[in-house]
Amino acid sequence: MQQKTSANAAGTALTNQVSVTTIDGESSAFASLSASLAEIRKLKGVIGYILRSNTSAILDFTGPDEITENAILSSQIHDSCQEIGKQFNLGEMESVLVEGENVKVLCMSIGENNISVFMEKSATHSWIIKRILM
């Protein structure tokens, strides 16, 4: 179940299932991506996702503990990889895949929106990239 909270409330609503924070009005790209990610979330092996723009963010995980840790990791991956990309002239960042021992994280930047999809290592991330870019 998803909940949305007004930006004016400046809060972050957490439930056992889902946390959603909306700070301002949603752009159409953000809305479109959130719809795609909601579909991706249903796929087998997908643990959760984070969609963040300059003004809004959606975090969808099963437990509140995961949310904080995953949000920090997601933010770190985006920032660090942007820096590495510039340093090694990789060009505009299309995707980042971080594979841990248990879980892998797919990170993408679409315009001003940063996406992180957490999934089991057996999940097919290439299909998820295609689905996000559709």
Partner 1 sequence: MTETYSTTLQTIINEFKNITPEITNTFIFKKNGEIIASTETTTEDQNKKLIATFNDIVDQAENIGDIETLTIQGADSQLSITSMNNRYLVNVSSRAADEKMVKMLTSVIVPTVVKLVDQISELSGSELPQVKKPEVKPVEEIVLPDEQTTQSESILDMSASFSSEPMLPEPPVNQFMIEKIGGLLVRCDIVRVDSEVIAKWHDIYGDKEITQVHIETLEGKSIICGFKPIKETSHNAKGIIQFPEKVLQALQTSKGKLVIVKPVITSQGEKIVAAKNKRQRRWNRIN
Instruction: Give the footprint of partner 1 on residues 26-85 (CB under 8 A).
Output: 66, 69-70, 72-73, 76-77, 80-81, 83-85
Instruction: Give the footprint of partner 1 on residues 90-109 (CB under 8 A).
Output: 90-105
The sign of the torsion formed by the CA atoms of 53, 12, 67, 71 equals positive
- What is the smallest separation between the CB atom of 19 and partner 1, expressed in angstroms? 16
- What is the smallest separation between the CB atom of 7 and partner 1, expressed in angstroms? 27
Nearer to partner 1, 13 or 81 (CB): 81
Nearer to partner 1, 11 or 100 (CB): 100
Run of H or E residues at 126: helix 125-133
Question: Should residue 120 be labelled a site residue for partner 1 when binding is judged by CB under 8 A?
Answer: no
**Among 128, 91, 89, 90, CA closest to 108:** 128
**Among 32, 31, 22, 66, CA closest to 47:** 66
Question: Should residue 117 be labelled a site residue for partner 1 when binding is judged by CB under 8 A?
Answer: no
Chain contacts with partner 1 (rule: CB under 8 A) = 66, 69-70, 72-73, 76-77, 80-81, 83-85, 87-105, 118
